[in-house]
Structure 1
Amino acid sequence: MRTSEHDFAAQDDAAPVDMLAALFEARGWSFDVASDDEMSGEVQGSWAKYQLKAIWRAQDNVLQFLCLPEIRVQDDKKERAYELLSLINEQMWLGHFDIWSNGDVLLYRHGALLGDDGMLSLTQAQSLVENAIDECDRFYPAFQFVLWGDKAPRAALEAAMVDAAGEA
């Protein structure tokens, strides 16, 4: 049985998948726990629905957190997409964007190294989820400009950042 977000706040830390599942449940987001080491869910961002996936590697005490904005990169757009990825990743402090070779799917990936106890706090869980969604929302327009609008990567990123700066 999963514990609620409120209960985890009281005890502070929990197993990573349990903590994330409780957070998703508390926020009313759909999710599925595949095992003690893996869960997935779906969250509505500003631009699209994002598939979120968490994979716990106990042997390394690493929680890999993925956010997929449902963007596939066609072969004829890959060169520009990779150029845009490198420009975007230069600006990121946590995580990075990549294109999975299996299916050519764009994704945001962040590996969180947890302490020796392998526990995740509610604050850490919220930060992982919010950062992933925020980064996907921040750069989604740039990917649209390159993949669907045929803009040059640098121009697409500049246009996306101007648009984002214009929102209050």
Structure 2
Amino acid sequence: MRAGQTELVANDDAPPVDMLAALFEARGWPFQAVSDDEMSGEIQGSWAKYQLRCIWRSEDNVLQLLCLPDIRVAEDKRSQAFELVAMVNEQMWLGHFDVWSNGGMLLYRNGAMLGDDGLLSLDQAQALVETAVEECDRFYPAFQFVLWGDKSPRDALENALVDAAGEA
């Protein structure tokens, strides 16, 4: 990111990776620009640190945001995890959870189509990042219950949503 970029993007729309880098810098979150079209960073959620990866596809004007809660799904738990992912995704309006077939990594994924100018506002950037972290926090306990607590996917989801509703 160029010097002075933080001040520029705080008041204007900017290329997506620049805007997200400025947001991370302003919040004091660690990040690194992988390229002009990709960045990664880390945010502490309620349950764990989440790795965020932001990938810009200028040819489609689509920004993809991935949030990885550092949960690997063991082969013997994949069927229960896939069942839970399907049930969790029914609860979501934006984005979805998935399990990468290579390595079994759980992730949240959201794609945002930007306008013809391909620019991202600060409000959009904040909403994308906050939604990713909130959804990972909301469903993290359900995945823990299935993967390490030996609960059924339905019980895990019900318990996680009740627990989350009871927090202050």
**Range class of TM-score, shorter chain:** over 0.9
| Letter aligned with residue 96 of structure 1 | H
TM-score by length of 2: 0.97
Kindly report which structure 2 residues correspond to 1:35-54, keeping only aligned pairs within 5 A, or say none.
Answer: 35-54=35-54
Q: CA offset at residue 7 of structure 1? A: 3.2
Where structure 2 has 5 or more consecutive residues not aligned to the other structure, the ranges are none
Partner of 2:144: 144
Q: CA offset at residue 9 of structure 1? A: 2.7
Kindly report which structure 2 residues correspond to 1:79-158, keeping only aligned pairs within 5 A, or say none.
Answer: 79-158=79-158
Rounded to whole Å, the distance in 2 between the matches of 1:76 and 1:9 is 47
Q: Which has the higher strand share?
A: 1
The RMSD of aligned alpha carbons is 0.8
2:70 is the alignment partner of 1:70: yes
Rounded to whole Å, the distance in 1 between the matches of 2:26 and 2:77 is 39
Where structure 1 has 5 or more consecutive residues not aligned to the other structure, the ranges are none
Partner of 1:22: 22
| Letter aligned with residue 7 of structure 1 | L
2:10 is the alignment partner of 1:9: yes
**Seq. identity, %:** 73
Rounded to whole Å, the distance in 1 between the matches of 2:44 and 2:50 is 6
| Letter aligned with residue 28 of structure 2 | G
Rounded to whole Å, the distance in 2 between the matches of 1:49 and 1:25 is 17
What are the superposed Cα offsets for residues 92-112 of structure 1, whole Å, 9 maximum, x if unpaired?
000000001121100000000
| Letter aligned with residue 9 of structure 1 | A
What are the superposed Cα offsets for residues 66-125 of structure 1, whole Å, 9 maximum, x if unpaired?
000000000000000000000000010000000011211000000000000000000000
SS in structure 2 at match of 1:14? coil
Rounded to whole Å, the distance in 2 between the matches of 1:101 and 1:42 is 23
Partner of 1:162: 162
**Aligned residue pair count:** 166
Rounded to whole Å, the distance in 1 between the matches of 2:119 and 2:42 is 23
SS in structure 2 at match of 1:13? coil
SS in structure 1 at match of 2:151? coil
Q: CA offset at residue 49 of structure 1? A: 0.3
Rounded to whole Å, the distance in 1 between the matches of 2:105 and 2:166 is 29
Rounded to whole Å, the distance in 2 between the matches of 1:121 and 1:102 is 34
Rounded to whole Å, the distance in 2 between the matches of 1:51 and 1:20 is 14
Rounded to whole Å, the distance in 2 between the matches of 1:50 and 1:43 is 5
| Letter aligned with residue 113 of structure 2 | L
SS in structure 1 at match of 2:65? strand
